[in-house]
Structure 1
Amino acid sequence: MKHPLPLQALRAFVEVGQRGSIKAAAEALHVTSGAVSQQIRLLEERVGTPLFTRERQGLRLTEAGARVHPTLLAAFAQIASASEALEDLAGRQTLTVSTVATFAAAWLVPRLGRFNGRYPQIEVRVEATSALVDLRRDRVDVALRHGLGEYPGLQATRLMAPVLVPVASPALVAGQPPIATPADCLRYPLLHDTDRADWPLWLAAHGAPGDARAARGSAFEDDFLLIRAAEAGQGLALVPQLYAHAEIAAGRLVQVLDLPWPARFAYYLVTRPDAAARPAVQAFMAWIIDEAQADAPSSQT
Structure 2
Amino acid sequence: MGRVLPLLALRAFAEAGRYGSVKRAAEAMGVTSGAVSQQLRLLEERVGTSLFSRTRYGVELTEAGAKVHPVMLRAFDQIESGLDKLEADKTVQSMTICTVPSFAASWLVPRLGRFTSLHPEVEVRVEASSTLVDLHKRRVDVAIRHGLGDYPGLEVIPLMAPELIPVASPRLLAEGPSINRPVDCLAYPLLQDSDRSDWRLWLKAFGIEDDPRIERGQAFDEDFLLVRAAEAGQGIALVRDIYSREEVAAGRLAVALDCPWPTEFAYYAVTLPQATERPAVAAFVSWLIREART
Q: 1:53/1:192 Cα in 2 relative to 1: closer, same or farther (>3 Å)? A: farther
Q: 1:98/1:17 Cα in 2 relative to 1: closer, same or farther (>3 Å)? A: farther
Paired position in structure 2 for 1:261? 261
Letter in 2 for 1:47: L
Query: 2: distance between equivalents of 1:17 and 1:130?
Result: 28
Gaps of 5+ in 1: 295-301
Map residues 26-105 of structure 1 onto 2, 5 A cutoff: 28=28, 31=30, 35-44=31-40, 46-47=42-43, 57=57, 59-61=58-60, 63=62, 69-105=69-105
On the 8 A contact 1:97/1:142 being kept in 2, the answer is: yes
TM-score, length-normalised on structure 1? 0.73
Residue-by-residue CA offset, 1:222-270 (whole Å, 9 max, x unaligned): 3334435545655322101211334445665443223333222222234
Residue-by-residue CA offset, 1:59-79 (whole Å, 9 max, x unaligned): 424637666554433222111
Identity %: 54
Residue-by-residue CA offset, 1:256-301 (whole Å, 9 max, x unaligned): 223333222222234455333332222112211221122xxxxxxx
Q: 1:210/1:54 Cα in 2 relative to 1: closer, same or farther (>3 Å)? A: same
Paired position in structure 1 for 2:211? 212
Map residues 151-300 of structure 1 onto 2, 5 A cutoff: 155-169=155-169, 173=173, 175-194=175-194, 196-205=196-205, 207=206, 209-213=208-212, 215-217=214-216, 218-231=218-231, 233-248=233-248, 253-271=253-271, 274-294=274-294
Q: 1:55/1:166 Cα in 2 relative to 1: closer, same or farther (>3 Å)? A: farther
Paired position in structure 1 for 2:6? 5
Query: 2: distance between equivalents of 1:235 and 1:175?
Result: 12
Q: 1:210/1:6 Cα in 2 relative to 1: closer, same or farther (>3 Å)? A: closer
Q: 1:110/1:20 Cα in 2 relative to 1: closer, same or farther (>3 Å)? A: farther
Q: 1:290/1:231 Cα in 2 relative to 1: closer, same or farther (>3 Å)? A: same
Gaps of 5+ in 2: none
On the 8 A contact 1:199/1:214 being kept in 2, the answer is: no
Secondary structure class of the residue paired with 1:159: strand
TM-superposed CA distance for 1:216, in Å, is 0.8
Q: 1:228/1:20 Cα in 2 relative to 1: closer, same or farther (>3 Å)? A: farther
CA-based RMSD of the aligned residues comes to 3.8
TM-score, length-normalised on structure 2? 0.74
How many residues align structurally? Answer: 287
Residue-by-residue CA offset, 1:102-139 (whole Å, 9 max, x unaligned): 22232122222322232233333444455555655656
Query: 2: distance between equivalents of 1:91 and 1:194?
Result: 44
On the 8 A contact 1:248/1:254 being kept in 2, the answer is: yes
